């Protein structure tokens, strides 16, 4: 474990914003993570945990210590001939893992293909796509507490998962490091094909890799590659509103997509709301809104976090003024604007 100073993080965030870490360390094992946390406590350094940088808006300067888990180990724990637990260290790229599992014939994660970032960050956001959330396959999360280095294993229930939400955004926000994730896998075919026209893209009896390939094709048709055009995927959550408000909106906008929820509320399509306000394809100097998916804010190069955040605020205000619905960003803001 080596602490480096004044490390450029431009390539460590998928928006491609220029950023600098005062101190930076990569940890590959639990012991290294505990050592790094002890060092931060000893010198009272503020700590930022950074994964794949795919769900953060990185401002120019990150003081204290940036800790990046890079452990790549994963191993199978068989439960019987059809079920297993997969233990995955935090640094494993999520999409790489999904492809590996699909190729090996395991069911569970195939609908979550091509979601960027590392496995350790997946529980924070409770990543989801095409009718599946991480909570559907997660067994446990291994964490280390920043305050005292205490090691703990959280069950799925203890993670308090919700729509793009978890305990890691609330009671445990900025208080723990996720070092390992445990997933439940099955050999029994259980395809989920009811979302996004997926059933038309796969064979009658698909295997997991068929679904992965179809979802990758669908996502690439709609979403820009961060390596080509800086972005964090979906920038805003799809808002959940009272059924009464959804009904009133439907009277005025009968083409508005509205989805019922298990709680009796209604989920609206944030991209539709943004597009209806005229922002699809909009550009303002270095940042803008993608021309094929209004839910994706993009960085064309040469810009900074403040420009993107200002644009996001204008979009939120426009949507609220038009529909009375407040959008909530998915990515978190890290760092400071100045040195």
Residue 226: which residues within 8 A CB-CB, separation 6 or more?
A: 14, 15, 16, 54, 116, 232
pTM metric for this prediction: 0.92
| Residue 338 pLDDT exceeds 80 | no
Mean pLDDT of the chain: 96
**Mean pLDDT, range 307-324, rounded to an integer:** 98
- Looking up tokens 């070092």 gives 179
Nearest to 112 by CA among 21, 197, 218: 218
Which of 199, 284, 330, 332 is labelled catalytic?
330
- Alpha-carbon gap, residue 192 to 190, rounded angstroms: 7
pLDDT of res. 57 = 98
* Sequence ranges of the chain with CATH classification 3.90.78.10: 230-334
Q: Is the pLDDT of residue 239 over 80?
A: yes
145 pairs with which residues across the strands? 176
Catalytic residue among 23, 164, 184, 276: 164
CA atoms of 204 and 215, how far apart (whole Å): 16
Backbone angles phi, psi at 23, to 5 degrees: -140, 145
| Fold that domain 4-69 belongs to in CATH | 3.30.43
Residue 196: what pLDDT? 79
Residue appearing with tokens 């080596």: 2
State residue 278's pLDDT score: 98
Q: Three-state SS for 211?
A: helix
- CA–chain centroid gap for 321, Å, is 28
- For the domain spanning 230-334, the CATH number is 3.90.78.10
User: Which part of the chain has CATH 3.30.43.10?
Assistant: 4-69
Secondary structure (3-state) at 280: coil
Euclidean distance between CA atoms 124 and 225, whole angstroms:
22
d(CA 261, CA 124): 21
Residues 70-91, mean pLDDT to the nearest whole number? 97
Does the pLDDT at position 274 exceed 90? Answer: yes
CATH code of the region 74-222? 3.30.465.10
Rounded mean pLDDT, 230-244? 96
What are the beta bridge partners of residue 333?
57
- In terms of DSSP H, where are the helices of 118-242? 122-125, 208-222
Contact 312, 329 (CB under 8 A): yes
Q: What is the pLDDT of residues 260-270, one digit of tens each?
A: 988 899 999 99
**Measured distance CA(16)–CA(232) in Å, rounded:** 10
pLDDT score, position 337: 86
pLDDT band for position 276 (50/70/90)?
very high
Q: What percent of the chain is predicted at pLDDT more than 70?
A: 100
Where are the CATH 3.30.465.10 domain residues in the chain? Answer: 74-222
Catalytic-residue membership of 330: yes
- Close Cβ partners of 134 (under 8 Å, ≥ 6 residues apart): 112, 122, 123, 126, 127, 128, 161
- What are the CA-CA distances from residue 157 to residues 136, 139, 153, 167, 334 (Å)? 11, 9, 12, 10, 28
Are 56 and 50 contacting, i.e. CB atoms less than 8 angstroms apart?
A: yes
Q: Which of 32, 110, 234, 276 is catalytic?
A: 234
What gap in Å lies between CA 235 and CA 240, rounded to an integer?
Answer: 16
Q: What residues contact residue 111 under an 8 Å CB cut-off, 6+ apart? A: 129, 130, 131, 132, 192, 198, 211, 215
Closest CA to 236 of 320, 159, 131: 320
Question: Is 247 an active-site residue?
Answer: no
> For position 262, what pLDDT does the model report?
86
Residue 154 is predicted with a pLDDT of 98
DSSP state of 253: -
């Amino acid at each position: 474990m080596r602490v480096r100073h004044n490390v450029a993080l431009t390539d460590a965030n998928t928006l491609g914003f220029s950023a600098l870490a005062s101190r930076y360390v990569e940890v590959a094992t639990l012991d290294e993570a505990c050592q790094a946390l002890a060092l931060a406590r000893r010198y009272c350094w503020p700590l930022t945990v950074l994964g794949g940088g795919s769900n953060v808006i990185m401002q120019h300067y990150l003081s204290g210590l940036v800790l990046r888990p890079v452990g790549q180990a994963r191993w199978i724990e068989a439960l019987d001939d059809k079920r297993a637990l997969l233990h995955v260290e935090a640094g494993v790229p999520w999409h790489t893992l999904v492809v590996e599992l699909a190729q090996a014939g395991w069911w569970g994660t195939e609908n979550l293909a091509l979601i960027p970032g590392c496995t350790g960050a997946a529980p924070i956001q409770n990543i989801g796509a095409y009718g599946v959330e991480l909570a559907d396959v997660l067994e446990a999360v291994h964490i280390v507490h920043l305050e005292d280095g205490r090691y703990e294993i959280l069950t799925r229930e203890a993670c308090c998962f919700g729509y793009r939400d978890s305990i890691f955004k609330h009671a445990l926000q900025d208080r723990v490091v996720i070092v390992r994730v445990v997933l439940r896998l099955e050999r029994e075919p259980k395809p989920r094909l009811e979302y996004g026209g997926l059933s038309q893209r796969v064979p009658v009896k698909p295997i997991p890799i068929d679904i992965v390939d179809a979802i990758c094709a669908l996502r690439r048709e709609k979403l820009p590659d961060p390596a080509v055009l800086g972005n964090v995927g979906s920038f805003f959550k799809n808002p959940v509103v009272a059924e009464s408000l959804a009904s009133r909106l439907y009277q005025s906008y009968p083409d508005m997509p509205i989805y019922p929820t298990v709680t009796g509320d209604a989920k609206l399509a944030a991209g539709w709301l943004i597009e209806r306000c005229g922002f699809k394809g909009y550009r303002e100097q270095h940042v803008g809104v993608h021309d094929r998916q209004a839910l994706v804010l993009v960085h064309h190069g040469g810009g900074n976090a403040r420009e993107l955040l200002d644009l996001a605020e204008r979009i939120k205000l426009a949507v609220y003024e038009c529909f009375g619905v407040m959008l909530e960003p998915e990515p978190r803001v890290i760092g400071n604007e100045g040195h």
